[in-house]
A and B are shown apart, each in its own frame.
Chain A
Amino acid sequence: MVSRKDFFRKSWKLAVGAAAESIDKRLPNEEDFSDFPKLIRPPGAVANFAEKCTTCGECVKVCPAEAIRVTFEKPFKKELPSINPSEKACQMCETLDCIKVCEDEALVFNDTLTFPKIGLAELQKDKCLSFNGSLCMTCYDACPLKRTAIKFKFNKPIVIDEECTGCGICEEFCVLEKGTKGIVVKPLMIE
């Protein structure tokens, strides 16, 4: 069992630094993971989330945003909860009932006061309107941590990696079509 704090620190380190390498090593079969980079776990997911989760579905039931859904995940050969921000993003609610109801220790509280990081928003500069001659500020406007996690400088949005929680509201609100979103949340490398 990884302590919440350790996990948080570690996951962040992984995300910025050596994550890619370690993932490469751990991936048993890359093809099976074709869907993998798109899956974002609910808040507080532990490193071995897929292993711990028993698919009881409680987190799905309590999510006030109805953001958590369950899909079958090939690599793990079972149904698991995840979030697709293009459809419905985590609302960063204060109650975090999803963690409270989890009895599998798959979702756990961190001991900091910050909202658990579940991913990281990435601007798609080839698609984002602001980078392509049409001025748009929807992601900036939708971001619950406006001016902190997404800044708007020189008429373009900038994601501040350290502050972004990966909630995905920016992706949900991005005016572009699903699949061609100008900002996409990538999950943290924790599994």
Chain B
Amino acid sequence: MKNLDRRKFLKSTAASIATASLLASCEQKPKPQEPLTQKVGGELDQLGMEWDKSVCRFCGTGCGVLVGRKGDKIVATKGDPDCYSNKGLNCIKGYFLSKILYGKDRLTKPLIRKNGKLEESSWDEALDLVASKYTEILKEHGSDAVSMFGSGQWTIFEGYAASKFMKAGLGFVSKDGVGSNHLEPNARMCMASAVAGFMRTFQSDEPMGSYEDLEHADTFFLWGANMAEMHPVLFSRIIDTKLKNPRKVRIVDLGTQYTRSSEEADLYLEFKPQTDLAILNYFAHYICENELYDKEFVEQNTIFKKGQDNIGYGLKDGDGDIPKNAGAMYPYTFEEFKKFVSTYTAEYVSELSGVPVEKLVEAARYISSKDRNVCSYWTMGFNQHTRGTWANHLVYNIHLLTGKISKPGNGPFSLTGQPSACGTAREVGTFAHRLPADHVVANAAHREMAAKIWNIPVEKINPKVGLHTVEMFRAVDNKKLKLMWTQVTNPFQSMPHLNRYRKATEDKGFFLIVSDVYPTRSTELADVVFPCAMWTEKEGAYGNAERRTQHWNKIAEPPGEAKTEIWQMYEIAKRMKVEGGKTLADIIYPYSKENYYKEMWEEYRSFSLGIGKDLAPYDVLREKHGVVWPYVGKTEEVNGKHDFTDVWDNLESPEGDKDKGFVSVKWRYNAKYDPYAAKFKKEHPEHKGDIAFYKAKKNGYKATILAVPYEPAAEEPDNEFPFWLCTGRVLEHWHTGSMTMRVPELRRAVPRAVVNLNPDDAKKMGIKRGDLVRVSSRRGSVVFPADVNGRSIPALGNVFIPFFDETRMVNEITLDAYCPISKEPDYKKCAVKVEKA
């Protein structure tokens, strides 16, 4: 038999392998749209396993997974074919998903620092200590002295509980009688520029399209997004689309390094860091010059504005170098806009960016062509950018000018990096300035609403915007913050300019509480460590980049004494006494034991109803394999706002449930799918076209096209530090590697961070693959093994280093400059020198 196999193999050629791979790819084509019928959970299969639905713990793609439990252990996971986000696919991290639970060094007991050492303690001792610290600091210094740093990996429930704890609860304990807005998620380092871009353009956060666009589009623009590695499941859907129509489909990759995505691309534009701003303006210029804009759409749906320029870089503490009006937008006209972008000629932009004119023109032709369906995808390349908000604006400009937006196969789509950056950080609003569902603390009406839902006096909610992430860590260094609680995140590996912030924690007057599942570079600095239940060891829900909320049940028991973050916050609140003999927990967590999560969800959901951000009811979430919001009911009794009977019949709901009286909106602002848009059209008969930006009331229901220039980066290479440093991820590891480095297979696949060099640069310096290389900046210096001609090939004069490796932390050299509007740090650009170690 073996010989037969061998013969077959020997006769096969590379060509047949290629064909086979095509076939295999076709086999995995997405399932046709059909109602979800399969029900999992509860029943044992033939291997004695119980299966239940969940969602992958890693990136923002939000792949549905089926989780197999045998005994009390989770032993298997597989892609969930009934989840529309991934249609049964997984990446390699998802394949080994269950193993993240069973690393040998899981934290199972609370730890307290005694005489400089972390020692095991009982829960009571640790909780009492933390509660007394909180009370002491709140009574002495007020709520301005405490902060919480959370995560886009918080479950929605946890984020909501944390938001209540900080914003609603602490006011009952602190001496100044108001809550603290020093609540930030690590999503500030990930998505804040996208949020600012959405809010400033459409007055409503999160993308309008869905992953379904991947099948409907024929032209894909990847803006500094290595989707092949970072969102592999989505990229494979692009590949499937390409294979179905190779003549038409074009993938255009724009970036500063040649990646796996560039390899699959039809057109690759390698530009100098920061010049993406100029390229985007050139595209707008090309569209205006050749009159390729959609005249009717622009007239009906857009308004032109000019942004404030020269807005600083956030390099001085206290937003010192940022002008007060950094976010200002001034009235402008289309003619002025045309004139403004006309300075970005192909020749000028080519000289600035290093991209040949022909390539710029070709890309401009693709993005503006009237017979192409264009989708733009971006992640950290745009968001982690000292002009990140601008970059987001500029890509919307193009889609708004051409009207390629909010339609199947057309739209700008901001991908997320974390599983619940959308669901938790953005929708719950765990930012220093936010409340749930796009509400903000600075708005009195919003505070009123929140106070009513939370059943607390409105004065308890602090109207002053809290410290954003970088400022929060700088406040630790400046001894303004006395206490920080971090949950589900590892900032002391992931903050830029790490040396400064790690050193800041040494201060005796600063108390650090870390809730985590494994020892990390953050737990080693903590005063108290709480061991946590993770992923399917607790009930939870995540919201992914396409606005899909996915719920999972508790499937396994957490190890040892590990507890959920919800329990931890509840226990701390229980230990804080407030007036009237009550505890804080009675006020902020008034949920019954039996229906704790359901009651919390329904309370949270009431923020979202009636404003186009409608979340699905708890029972629907438990039932379905992910639900995309807005999940709008035909009639619902929420302040009488909900009555879509008159427009209901014409709505399309690709994910079903219309028979149950709900539509799940896949393309927002489009009257064919979105009841709010349909209703808007009905009420404004003069409005032309299907698209209506009904949330942009302030701008007369028009989306903003913003004129902003190219401005240089915060720190550019010079003679002393001649290289650009870009940081990021690799396929196998996720973020700081605290989970994936515990999976032996993933660890073996990529055991350490390497510095990726351009082969020509390496040759000039005499560096070979595997040589040790010292990479230094003005802030520090770290040694990495070199990889030449590796998976990613940076452009000449650029180096790339992933940040997952806790033994060599690249963030010791990165710069903590940030976008003055979104306050998101730029991890992609700083100047370094590279030498043989």
Residues 125-152 of chain A: 1 if any B CB is under 8 Å from the residue's CB, otherwise 0? Answer: 1000101011111101110001100001
Q: Please, which residues of chain B bring their CB within 8 A of the CB of A88?
A: none
- Given A131-B21, A138-B732, A176-B745, output 14 extra A-B contacts at Cβ < 8 Å: A20-B10, A37-B6, A134-B90, A135-B90, A135-B731, A136-B95, A138-B749, A140-B791, A141-B791, A142-B749, A152-B260, A154-B243, A155-B264, A161-B13
Kindly state the separation between the CA atoms of A24 and B2 in the bound complex, as whole angstroms.
Answer: 11
Once A15-B10, A175-B746, A186-B6 are accepted as A-B contacts, the answer to whether A133 and B90 lie under 8 Å apart by CB is: yes
Q: Give the A interface residue count (CB, 8 A).
A: 39
Kindly state the separation between the CA atoms of A161 and B748 in the bound complex, as whole angstroms.
Answer: 26
Residues 29-53 of chain A: 1 if any B CB is under 8 Å from the residue's CB, otherwise 0? Answer: 0100000010000000000000000
Number of A-B pairs whose CB atoms are under 8 Å? 111
Chain B CB within 8 A of A159 CB? yes
Closest residue on chain A to residue B90 by CB atoms: A134
Q: Please, which residues of chain A bring their CB within 8 A of the CB of B264?
A: 153-155
Contact of A134 among B22, B94, B749 (CB under 8 A): B94
Chain B CB within 8 A of A158 CB? yes
If over half of B's interface residues share one DSSP class (helix, strand or loop), that class is named, otherwise mixed; here it is helix
Q: Please, which residues of chain A bring their CB within 8 A of the CB of B638?
A: none
Chain A CB within 8 A of B455 CB? no
Kindly state the separation between the CA atoms of A168 and B613 in the bound complex, as whole angstroms.
Answer: 53
Question: Which A51-69 residues sit within 8 Å CB-CB of chain B?
Answer: none
Kindly state the separation between the CA atoms of A146 and B791 in the bound complex, as whole angstroms.
Answer: 8
Q: Is the CB of B92 within 8 A of A20?
A: no
Contact of A161 among B14, B89, B229 (CB under 8 A): B14
Contact of B10 among A16, A129, A152 (CB under 8 A): A16
Contact of B17 among A17, A137, A159 (CB under 8 A): A159
Chain B CB within 8 A of A101 CB? no
Chain B CB within 8 A of A8 CB? no
Chain A CB within 8 A of B47 CB? no
Closest residue on chain B to residue A142 by CB atoms: B749
Q: Is the CB of A146 within 8 A of B790?
A: yes
Stretch among B232-240, B282-290, B580-588, B708-716 lining the A interface: B232-240
The 8 closest A-B pairs by CB, nearest first: A20-B7, A136-B92, A175-B745, A135-B232, A134-B95, A156-B21, A138-B749, A135-B91
Chain B CB within 8 A of A19 CB? yes
Chain A CB within 8 A of B25 CB? yes
Once A146-B789, A160-B14 are accepted as A-B contacts, the answer to whether A173 and B21 lie under 8 Å apart by CB is: no
Q: Please, which residues of chain B bring their CB within 8 A of the CB of A162?
A: 14
Kindly state the separation between the CA atoms of A29 and B665 in the bound complex, as whole angstroms.
Answer: 68
What are 8 sample pairs from A and B whose C-beta atoms fall under 8 A apart?
Answer: A15-B10, A20-B6, A133-B79, A135-B91, A136-B95, A152-B263, A154-B239, A156-B24
Q: Is the CB of B28 within 8 A of A133?
A: yes
Q: Please, which residues of chain A bring their CB within 8 A of the CB of B749?
A: 138, 141-142, 173, 175
Q: Is the CB of B21 within 8 A of A133?
A: no
Q: Is the CB of B92 within 8 A of A175?
A: yes
Chain B CB within 8 A of A123 CB? yes
Contact of A154 among B21, B89, B91 (CB under 8 A): B21
A45 to chain B, nearest CB (A): 18
Closest residue on chain B to residue A30 by CB atoms: B3
Closest residue on chain B to residue A123 by CB atoms: B17
B228 to chain A, nearest CB (A): 7
Residues 791-825 of chain B: 1 if any A CB is under 8 Å from the residue's CB, otherwise 0? Answer: 10000000000000000000000000000000000
Kindly state the separation between the CA atoms of A140 and B232 in the bound complex, as whole angstroms.
Answer: 15
Kindly state the separation between the CA atoms of A156 and B18 in the bound complex, as whole angstroms.
Answer: 9
Q: Is the CB of A153 within 8 A of B10?
A: no
Q: Is the CB of B9 within 8 A of A129?
A: no
Q: Please, which residues of chain A bring their CB within 8 A of the CB of B22?
A: 154
Q: Is the CB of B731 within 8 A of A137?
A: yes
Contact of A153 among B13, B18, B750 (CB under 8 A): B18
Chain B CB within 8 A of A122 CB? yes
Q: Please, which residues of chain A bring their CB within 8 A of the CB of B789?
A: 146-147
Once A135-B91, A141-B791, A146-B791 are accepted as A-B contacts, the answer to whether A155 and B232 lie under 8 Å apart by CB is: yes
Chain A CB within 8 A of B466 CB? no
Kindly state the separation between the CA atoms of A153 and B91 in the bound complex, as whole angstroms.
Answer: 16
Chain A CB within 8 A of B328 CB? no
Q: Is the CB of B748 within 8 A of A173?
A: yes
Q: Is the CB of A154 within 8 A of B28?
A: no
Residues 716-757 of chain B: 1 if any A CB is under 8 Å from the residue's CB, otherwise 0? Answer: 000000000000000110000000000001101110000000
Q: Is the CB of B14 within 8 A of A156?
A: no
Once A20-B3, A138-B732, A175-B749 are accepted as A-B contacts, the answer to whether A131 and B92 lie under 8 Å apart by CB is: no
Chain A CB within 8 A of B20 CB? yes
Q: Is the CB of B232 within 8 A of A24?
A: no
